[in-house]
Amino acid sequence: MMTKYSVIAFFAVSTFLPGASGAAVARETSAIQVPADSVAWVGESGTASYYGPKHQGRRAASGVRFDQRKLTAAHPWLPFGTKVKVTLAASGRSVIVTITDRLYSNRRIVDLSVAAAQELGMIRAGIAEVTLLPV
């Protein structure tokens, strides 16, 4: 009778144990932060927009509070703290911003703070074609 319970216990443990250890490994690897200087990124071009004032004071994905007066930006995957040179294609004006948030749009490559958008002269248009380069 003990043998029957031993066999059932063995199968129950062997079935659930590999799945549990795999989940623990996945949690550990997703928490690893990539240093900004380890990203092999050469730049990109596309459409930029900017955050409206309604985002002022809200927490960004990096944990810092958004301040529309600072030169910051949101990017889909660049590490937080990465410095990026944003150049307006139409005029050649540029600004250096720090990535502090995530962008969840497939139509834009970057969302800029109001201060960064003002320096580029794109407030009136709302969106503009830009080039991003590492600093």
Tens digit of each residue's pLDDT (9 = 90 or more) over 102-116:
998 889 999 999 999
pLDDT of residue 38: 56
CATH of the domain at 103: 2.40.40.10
Residues 63 and 121 in one domain: yes
Residues 19 and 84 in one domain: no
Amino acid present at 108: R
> Is pTM, for the whole model, over 0.85?
no
Domain that residue 2 falls in: 1-32
Amino acid present at 8: I
Torsion region of 13: left, alpha or beta (phi above 0 gives left; psi -120 to 50 gives alpha): alpha
Structural domain count of the chain: 2
Q: Is the pLDDT of residue 23 over 50?
A: no
As a whole number of angstroms, the distance between CA 132 and CA 81 comes to: 15
